[in-house]
Amino acid sequence: MRLFIGIPVKFEEWLQRVYSRVEALRADIKMVEPKNVHITLAFLGEVREEKVDLVKESMKEVKFSTFSLTFKGLGAFPSLSRPRVIWVGISNGFNDLKTLRTSLVKSLAARGVRPEDGQFQPHLTIGRVKGPKGVLELMKLIEEMLDIPLGEQEVREVTLFKSVLTPKGPIYEELASIQAH
């Protein structure tokens, strides 16, 4: 099973406005389905079914308190000059996310489950660039929205998702979740 641990993000009015601005560019961009918007804490990749319970146990071991996230500005990976992934940044709550991820990774590692490596850069992916059409306009929009506060959300739960890839895009199924204390 293809798994990841993340925080679901509510598709609220502020996020709808961001989507509208990006979609208005009529660029060759595939937006993330509103119901799939989330912050990834740990991408586990392909996990054998017999290891799923170990992942759930690892999650139950992690304790965290409710905290607030402030979403701020747009950005792109790998860079603004070569945008492939469009994201919304996180200002307040950034360190809380890093601490939460560290606890998760430590708990998973103790059970022999290793998330994908790489530097953890908390963000909210909203779209993927599929071609060159509208990229210059996208770059201008990202620069224009770089430091604009966009919205907030309380983090009260962390969810284990199963991701099934289909030609129409991924389908996410919630397998388990933990609540803040």
Active site residues: 38, 123
Residue 151, both tokens: 């919205």
d(CA 173, CA 152): 24
Distances (CA, A) of 170 to 163, 165, 167: 6, 4, 8
d(CA 33, CA 97): 23
